Structure 1
Amino acid sequence: MTPLGRRLAAEISEHGPISVDRYMAECVAAYYAGRDPFGRDGDFTTAPEISQMFGEIIGLWTADLWDRAGRPQRVNLVELGPGRGTLMADLLRAARALPAFAEAIRVHFVETSPTLRAAQAERVPGATWHDDLGAVPRGVPLFVVANEFFDALPVRQEVRVDGEWRERQVGLVGDTLTFMPAGDAIRETSPARADYAATLAARIAADGGAALVVDYGYEGPAEGDSLQALAAHAAAAPLAAPGEHDLTAHVDFAALAEAARGAGTRVSPLALQGPFLLALGIAARAERLSHGLDPEARHAIAGAMRRLTLPQAMGSLFKVLVFTHKDWPEPAGFGA
C-alpha cells in the first residue's frame, strides 16, 4: 500500500469510513505534490501537450475579447492548474499578434505543486504564482483559463440502497480499501466545484473579464460513477494506489453554469471542444503551420487537429463554457 493509503487505512481503522470527496481530495493533493504527470512518459496528455494550436487559439480568442471589450489598460491573465505552462506559453506567443494586448496582460498561475511551478517557470518566466485564486490581485479585469482543472476537484457520491440514497464512503475490508455500501445506482455532486465556480464568477462580476472552462463531462443531471484513475495512459482502479494515480471525475457543466449565474455573471451556451476550435480557425492555423514542411510533419499537424476536434476523439467529450461580466461583449466561438 502507498504511504497515503497506509495513513488513510489507519484513520479509517480508528475512526470509521471517510467520504469519497475526502478520499479524492487527499489523493489529488498527494499525486500532484511531487511529480510531472504530463506527456508520453507520464500518466496522461492534455490538449496543450498535443499541439501548440490549442493554446494559440485560446490566445487569439482572449485577445479578440479584450479588443472588443474596449482594450482595458491592465488585465490579469490567470491560469488555474497550468500543468507545465505549455498552454500559457503558446497563448502568449499568439497574443503578440496584438502588441497592445501583450503589453496589457500580467500572468498569474494558481498552482501549489513545487515540481510543476519549476516547469512553468521555464516556459513562462515572468509569471507570478499563487496558492489560490483569492491571492490574485484585485481591481483589474480577469481573463481566467481553466483547462482540465475542475475534473480534479472532488466529487461526493451517493449510492442507492433498497430505494434510499446513502452517502458512498471508503472503508476497510481486512487491509483493503473498499467502497461502501454496495447498491444498485450511484449519483455524483460536487460542492467543491460549485463553490469554486461561484468564487471565480464573483471575481469577474466585480472586476470584469471572463473565465474559459474546458474539461470533459456532461450537461447534468446524470446518474453513474465517473470517478476514474489513470496510470501510464491506462485505466486503473481508483482505490488501488492512493496518491500515485491521477484521480478525476466528469464535470457537471450545468452545475457550474448555475453557480456562475448565481454569482452575477453571464454564462455562454455549452459548446463542444471540436466545433469551438473549428469556429475559431484551428483548421486555418493548421494549414499555415504545415506550409513548407515535409509530409511527415504535415501529417503530424493534421493528426493533432483531428485529435483535438473529431467527435470520436476529444472533440465531443470535452466541453467549453465561458463566464463573462454582464457588460462585456459576447465571446467568440459560440455561434450557430
Structure 2
Amino acid sequence: MTQSLTLEQQIDLHITTNGPMSVATYMGLCLTHPSRGYYRAGEPIGRAGDFITAPEISQMFGELIGFWLVNLWQQMGEPKAFTLLELGPGRGTLMADILRVACRAPGFRDALNLRLFETSPPLMAEQKARLDVYDPKWLENFENFEDGPVLVVANEFFDALPIRQFIRKSDGWHERQVGLLDGKRAFGLSPTPIPPQSMPDAVQDAAPDTIFEACLAGGEVMSRLAKIVAVQGGSLLVVDYGYAATQTGETLQGVRRHAYADVLDAPGETDISAHVDFGALANVARQAGLAVQPLATQGQFLTRLGIGERAAALAGANPASAADVRAAHDRLVGDAQMGTLFKVFCAHSPGLQPPGFAA
C-alpha cells in the first residue's frame, strides 16, 4: 500500500504512526529512499538539474586531480595494481577528465582497477556511458578491495550524508526532529535531554539555543575507508564545502532548480545538504593511522597544481573559447565564488607528500 504513496505521504504517515523522526532519518529518506529518493529517481546535476558541480564547470578541475593521482601513484613506486575509487561520481564527468590525463602516464592504465560508489540508477547509466572503456565496477559497500593501494576521490559527496541536529537548552542538548504541526511538517525537539558532557569538547560552552550538527554517517564512511588505506596504502581526497574545525551553527540547506528551498517542502524533489566538519573527518583518519594534510581551499589547491597555466594553455589553443576558459577559472578559484567556500582534505599513508597542500 505504501508503495503507491508519494514520498511526502509516506513520511507524513511514518510520523503519524511512529512519532517525530530525527533530521538524519528525514534527510536519508528524502535523498536515498529506494524508489522515490532524490538521488534514486532524478538527474540532479547540470543546468537542467538543481546544481552544477566543479567538474561540470570545466575540464581543468578533473585534469588537475588526474595529475595529482599520477603523482601519488609514482610516489608509491608505480604499483602494478591499485584501486581508484570515486564516491558519488555524478555523471562520470570528473572521472572521465581524471583518466584522460592520468592514463597518459605509462603503466597507469594497466594497473588501474576502477571502482565507483553510486546509489542513483540514472547517474550509474551516465557513468557507464562515459567510463565503460575503463571497465568500472560499482560497489555496494567498502569491502573486498583488490590487493594494492587504494586512492579515493570524493567531490561533493560528504555534504549529502545525513546529519543529526542538536539544540542547547538549560537542561542539556535536545535532538531536533521533524514532526507534524497542524498537518504540516515542522521542526521540533525531542523532550529527552542529552547531557552536555556527551557532546564534543568544542561545543561544551555553547550558549542557549545554539545548534550543533553531527554527521555520524560521514565519520563511518571515513573510518571504513581510512582503515583500508592504512593497511593497503594510498590516500583519500575530499573536495566539499565545510569548515576546518568542529563548531556550532546551522548549515542544513535545500536547493531546487538552482535556488535555495525549504528542506521540509517537496521531499525527494529537493537537494538537501550540510557543510562538512573536516576536523571530525581528520580525527577519524588519524585514529586509523593516516597522516592528514593541512586543509586547503579549493582555490589554493587548484592554483598550486597549476590551473592558471592550464587555463592559459587552453585559451591559447582555442582563442574563440578564451573568455569561457577565464570565466571557468575564476569560478573555480575566485574567493567570491567556489575558491574559498570549497575545501580540499587529504588523508594518506605516512611518507607520501601529496602536491597542492604546501604554499
| TM-score under structure 2 length normalisation | 0.90
Pairing partner for 2:322 from 298, 304, 313: 298
**Contact 1:111-1:132 at 8 Å conserved across structures:** no
Tell me how far 1:93 sits from its aligned partner: 0.5
The equivalent residue for 2:140 is: 131
Amino acid paired to 1:31: Y
For residues 104 and 315 of structure 2, the distance between their equivalents in structure 1, rounded to whole angstroms, comes to 19
Match of 1:102 among 85, 109, 115: 109
The reply on whether 1:184 has 2:192 as its aligned counterpart is no
The residue correspondences of 1:176-215 to structure 2 (distance < 5 A) are 176-181=184-189, 184-215=209-240
Instruction: Identify if the C-alpha distance between structure 1 residues 301 and 163 changes in structure 2 by more than 3 Å, giving closer, same or farther.
Output: farther
Q: In structure 1, how many angstroms separate the alpha carbons of the residues matched to 2:167 and 2:23?
A: 11
Residue identity matched to 2:159: D
Q: Once the 2 structures are TM-superposed, how far is the Cα of residue 263 of structure 1 from its aligned partner?
A: 1.1
Matches of 1:172 and 1:120 in 2, distance apart?
Answer: 39
Displacement after TM superposition at 1:104 (Å) = 1.4
Question: Residue 85 of structure 1 is aligned with which of 88, 92, 99?
Answer: 92
Structure 1 range deviating more: 161-170 or 9-18: 161-170
Which residue number corresponds to residue 166 of structure 1? 174
What residue number does 1:22 align with?
A: 25
**Other-structure match for 2:128:** 121
Contact conserved, 1:204 with 1:210, CA < 8 A, in 2? yes
CA contact (8 A) 1:53 1:286 kept: yes
CA drift at 1:112: 1.9
Q: Which amino acid in the other structure matches residue 123 of structure 1?
A: R
Mean Cα deviation higher: 306-315 or 220-229: 220-229
Equivalent positions of 1:314-325 (< 5 A) are 314-325=338-349
Q: 1:207 to 1:15 in 2, by over 3 A?
A: same
Partner Cα distance (1:173, 1:134) in 2:
43
Q: For structure 1, list consecutive stretches of 5 or more residues without a partner in the other structure.
A: none
Residue 252 of structure 1, aligned match among 277, 289, 298: 277
Aligned match of 2:198: none
1:143 to 145, 151, 156: 151
CA RMSD of aligned residues (A): 1.4
What is the one-letter code of the residue matched to 2:299?
Answer: G
**Letter matched to residue 313 of structure 1:** Q
How many percent identity over aligned positions?
46
How many residue pairs are counted as aligned between the two chains? 332
**Aligned equivalents of 1:51 and 1:112: distance in 2?**
24
Quick one: which amino acid aligns to residue 261 of structure 2?
A: A
Please tell me whether the aligned partners of residues 171 and 179 of structure 1 are also in contact (alpha carbons under 8 angstroms).
Answer: yes
2:356 maps to 333
Q: TM-score, normalised by structure 1?
A: 0.96
Q: What letter is aligned with 2:137? A: T
Deviation at 1:221, TM superposition (A): 2.0
Question: Residues 150 and 193 of structure 1 are in contact (CA less than 8 Å); yes or no, is this contact kept in structure 2?
Answer: yes
